Structure 1
Amino acid sequence: MKQLKEYTIPFVGLKQGLHQFEFQIENTFFEHFEYDEFNASAINVALEFNKKTTMLELQFTATGTVNVNCDLTNEPFDLPIKNEIFLVVKFGEEYNDENEELLILPYGEYEINVQQYIYELIVLAIPSKRVHPGVKNGTLQSDILEKLEELSPKEKTIVDEDEETDPRWDKLKNLLNDK
Structure 2
Amino acid sequence: MKALKSYTIPFVGLKVGEHHFDYQIDNTFFQHFEYDEFNAVDVKIDLKLDKKSTLLELLFCAEGVVNVNCDITNEPYDQAINDEFKLVVKFGNEYNDENEDILIIPHGEYEINVAQYIYELIILAVPIKRVHPGIEDGSLQSDILSKLEELSPSEDIKTKSSEDIDPRWNNLKKLLTDK
TM norm structure 2: 0.87
Contact 1:65-1:79 within 8 A present in 2 as well: yes
- Once the two structures are superposed, the pairs formed by residues 12-161 of structure 1 within 5 Å of their partners are 12-156=12-156, 158=158
Alignment RMSD? 2.0
Once residues 39 and 99 of structure 1 are traced to their aligned partners in structure 2, the CA distance between those partners, rounded to angstroms, is: 31
Question: SS in structure 2 opposite 1:82?
Answer: strand
**Which runs of 5 or more structure 2 residues have no equivalent in the other structure?**
172-179
**1:5-30, CA deviations, whole angstroms, 9 ceiling, x for partnerless residues?**
10000011111100000000001111
Contact 1:70-1:130 within 8 A present in 2 as well: yes
Structure 1 residues 54 and 145: CA distance shift in structure 2, 3 A? same
Question: SS in structure 1 opposite 2:62?
Answer: strand
Structure 1 residues 146 and 17: CA distance shift in structure 2, 3 A? same
Question: SS in structure 2 opposite 1:84?
Answer: strand
Once residues 129 and 55 of structure 2 are traced to their aligned partners in structure 1, the CA distance between those partners, rounded to angstroms, is: 38
User: Which amino acid in the other structure matches residue 116 of structure 2?
Assistant: Q
Structure 1 residues 9 and 157: CA distance shift in structure 2, 3 A? closer
TM norm structure 1: 0.87
User: Which amino acid in the other structure matches residue 131 of structure 1?
Assistant: V
Structure 1 residues 119 and 178: CA distance shift in structure 2, 3 A? closer
Shift of 1:149: 1.0
Question: SS in structure 1 opposite 2:50?
Answer: strand
Shift of 1:154: 1.4
User: Which amino acid in the other structure matches residue 8 of structure 2?
Assistant: T
Shift of 1:2: 6.0
Once residues 103 and 130 of structure 2 are traced to their aligned partners in structure 1, the CA distance between those partners, rounded to angstroms, is: 32
